[in-house]
Structure 1
């Protein structure tokens, strides 16, 4: 019997419709914190030995018995909408790759689940609709998703199984790809497809409190995993990405069962469990200077760094990673042995490289994305170290990924050091500081432009972790965003007020 022919590929973007900068085709080509756009057989080397869903699918035991037919894989840093040009060019190349690989026995795609484009609210739903139209109803289609996916009914209807990550920080992306391979094997061996139960929850979960190593997500995800098996081959809880202004934004559950009654009962049970815990999806948030002062107080008697999450400028949630609120607070408070990363400012990196190590340079650093309440920091900086921005990030989140952040520098102002990069990537690995000569373990305070992913590598070295709300496009409380298009009745924060659209004056 010939080996099953499985087309594989990926197209990932998490869209913050309130963010300042769109995702262009060039952003996908460059990749930033992910491998650059890659096609055909080159995909295997590009994703090898990394924490990427497609890598897990390729390396799964089941896939060794298949003929894997690579199409295209690409990802860009979270941002505002994907341009129509980028979406259509990339989608066309994925579809062409699938068409060229036919006849097929299956299709696996590594997607995010929260892609909004300039012309489509539901990027993944449209892509999957086109894939299904191309391969027909008989070919199994399996998709891995980020747990921040804003799942739509169209996505559920177009594929046989959607399987989401179960960790945030996302240390199980490759593992999720392997789960997708096991699901594909089951579909290939059976004439029956599992039935589906889909539920959308009625409140938005702030991402700063979605960490699966902390409550309430820790026990909720443990329950999801415990329920899986037997009559329930797959369950996914997606906490959603609460910064995409369209009707389907928010948390959801996708349950697959051998029979409809079992699937519906499991979905309803989980909806009830989450409702009981709604109020726990919130926590303490500091203002910038209050946060720095508290960090300095804790650091006075600490032997490990105090870590601050600059959550509202998280490039993993659509921020440009260039706001200056936290750096200004560190300087104003006279913080010592402090470091902040990453600041995305290619122009500043060029000036630093031109001046050389040891030089003093005048800069208007950061603050270029037009975020309300933010502005550049105009000051003199010392260039302490320079780098080409290429390094391996061995921590649990990047999982040994080979990063290329372009020309980079360590700039010092007072006793505060700043990682300046030319390509956006979330500060989620200790190696990102070390790449420009900063040893994070020797710092009293570390300020990371990240919401939760940094915890994967930093939690074990942190004396304490504080969450700060400096100006930025990813509001720590979704209720602070100017929503216009959510579905009626969705609470924009835990136990908050239901969404009601603003009516324009006549």
Structure 2
């Protein structure tokens, strides 16, 4: 595709982070370097065939003979607020890389939508605004969002269109990237003129109710899909929101994109908002704690997937809680598997040979939730040690291909439970995290995954029973137990009387 015989050039760039402001430890450059910080052609090599939005963007641009110009993509595992220095470095690198490839004809952006930095609580709104200022008012800027975004007016004001994934677990990321790139192509052809409207709501959807394939979310998504069939509608996005960020944007919202029909944007957005407000009580679930659930384990089809909501790595938690492991040992439950991020325990395990027995205190590492509790120390036997790299080639939450847990150690307790100890924090988005090391869920009575909905895409097909456990931690399910200083008011479920 070209104008005046010149092949069009579209930049691709993004800073992507889901920031939990209730975690004291900041996210640093090391966290991005240990995850995915890619520049130039390395971005295309990593994502061209991946189930990731960048892969979808590349596919559409190549089909339309448009030159894709990958600039920089930096992503870190969800964690604490991004440190000021880290964000400044990432922003400087991205803008320097952009300047080096100018001129361009459009820009595809890949923010998360729930990024928070120390100096810029609306991190995504900040860098998107700077990008708009750099590229000017006429340059089309179109991108994708994670539905856990807390979207600000600055994000939508700086872009022509933003489209969120429509599934949770997120298994449609590549398709969403294709939609964004298709909008870019049609905009450049002059076939459409996208305008978008952000409709924020006075509702924050509880994290355990954000599974899009079941009610109450399913009905909301069905209404959005029906509305999207109207003439002139280009996309409708449901932003479920991320409750673990104390920012004014926290809460659920909608983005409606039309072909130059702003009044249609407003009408559809308000209809969806009214539905969410009317049915807000459905979006708060009954929560079940450890003591309530574990005695029922014998009744359920095995293996049981126990979702450790309070230590949800995909929501920023450290991934080192041992509450469920301690409970399993106390209940004398055998045949449980759990993965715990604990570099100190890995280092201790690596001092031993497979088959040797020694004592460990998993979950008592720095930042662990067991701190302040009675020390949890158990005898374990080393089964194996390994380099914790693995890859995923199926559509899974997050769309990533390559993962690195650092050095790992797999041990078995005297009670017959198996622990995978990792040196780097990796969310449980891929079954390959187990099977690549000879571990199969069918071997166990229960598998603990430190997440809420995201692990279901990987573990659901092999776990006939799925149970969300209301565990303690910085991602505990009940958002009303956190102290917010910056959220908007009124906001359900904090306040009941909303309009």
TM-score range, shorter chain: over 0.9
Return the TM-score normalized by structure 2: 0.93
Would the alpha carbon gap of residues 497 and 437 (structure 1) be closer, same or farther in structure 2, given more than 3 Å must change? farther
Counterpart of 2:243? Answer: 242
Of stretches 475-484 and 432-441 in structure 1, the one that deviates more from structure 2 is 432-441
Counterpart of 2:376? Answer: 377
**1:364 maps to which of 336, 361, 366:** 361
Could you report, residue by residue, the CA deviation over 1:367-388 in whole angstroms, capped at 9, with x for unpaired residues?
3315476565212111112221
Partner Cα distance (2:375, 2:235) in 1: 48
Q: 1:12 aligned to 2:51?
A: no
Counterpart of 1:25? Answer: 29
Counterpart of 1:187? Answer: 187
Partner Cα distance (2:328, 2:106) in 1: 53
The aligned runs of 1:367-406 (5 Å cut-off) are 367=364, 368-369=366-367, 371=369, 377-397=376-396, 401-406=401-406
C-alpha contact (below 8 Å) 1:324/1:374 kept by paired residues: no
C-alpha contact (below 8 Å) 2:46/2:401 kept by paired residues: no
C-alpha contact (below 8 Å) 1:144/1:164 kept by paired residues: yes
Report how far residue 497 of structure 1 moved. Answer: 6.9
Partner Cα distance (2:226, 2:52) in 1: 24
Report how far residue 353 of structure 1 moved. Answer: 2.2
Partner Cα distance (2:28, 2:293) in 1: 35
C-alpha contact (below 8 Å) 1:285/1:469 kept by paired residues: yes
Counterpart of 1:344? Answer: 341
Counterpart of 1:275? Answer: 277
Q: 1:198 aligned to 2:198?
A: yes
The aligned runs of 1:297-336 (5 Å cut-off) are 297-299=298-300, 302=301, 304-336=302-334
Other structure's SS at 2:198 match: strand
Partner Cα distance (1:81, 1:21) in 2: 8
Could you report, residue by residue, the CA deviation over 1:341-360 in whole angstroms, capped at 9, with x for unpaired residues?
2x101121122223121121
C-alpha contact (below 8 Å) 1:307/1:466 kept by paired residues: yes
Report how far residue 10 of structure 1 moved. Answer: 2.0
Partner Cα distance (2:351, 2:17) in 1: 34
Would the alpha carbon gap of residues 56 and 473 (structure 1) be closer, same or farther in structure 2, given more than 3 Å must change? same
Unaligned runs of 5+ in 1: 499-506
Partner Cα distance (1:267, 1:400) in 2: 31
Would the alpha carbon gap of residues 370 and 425 (structure 1) be closer, same or farther in structure 2, given more than 3 Å must change? closer
Report how far residue 417 of structure 1 moved. Answer: 0.8
Partner Cα distance (1:146, 1:237) in 2: 10
Partner Cα distance (1:120, 1:272) in 2: 31
Displaced runs of 4 or more, over 6 A: none
Partner Cα distance (2:411, 2:160) in 1: 50
Of stretches 153-162 and 228-237 in structure 1, the one that deviates more from structure 2 is 228-237
Counterpart of 1:475? Answer: 476
Of stretches 189-198 and 480-489 in structure 1, the one that deviates more from structure 2 is 189-198
C-alpha contact (below 8 Å) 2:313/2:451 kept by paired residues: yes
Could you report, residue by residue, the CA deviation over 1:248-280 in whole angstroms, capped at 9, with x for unpaired residues?
111111112231221111111111222233122
Report how far residue 136 of structure 1 moved. Answer: 0.5
Partner Cα distance (1:408, 1:24) in 2: 22
Partner Cα distance (1:12, 1:334) in 2: 42
Report how far residue 400 of structure 1 moved. Answer: 6.9
Of stretches 245-254 and 274-283 in structure 1, the one that deviates more from structure 2 is 274-283
Report how far residue 78 of structure 1 moved. Answer: 0.7
Report how far residue 87 of structure 1 moved. Answer: 0.7
RMSD: 1.9
Could you report, residue by residue, the CA deviation over 1:323-366 in whole angstroms, capped at 9, with x for unpaired residues?
1111110100111211112x101121122223121121222212
Report how far residue 77 of structure 1 moved. Answer: 0.8
Would the alpha carbon gap of residues 192 and 287 (structure 1) be closer, same or farther in structure 2, given more than 3 Å must change? closer
Aligned length: 488
Other structure's SS at 2:92 match: helix
C-alpha contact (below 8 Å) 1:306/1:444 kept by paired residues: yes
C-alpha contact (below 8 Å) 1:285/1:466 kept by paired residues: no
Report how far residue 185 of structure 1 moved. Answer: 0.8
Counterpart of 1:504? Answer: none
Counterpart of 2:489? Answer: 488
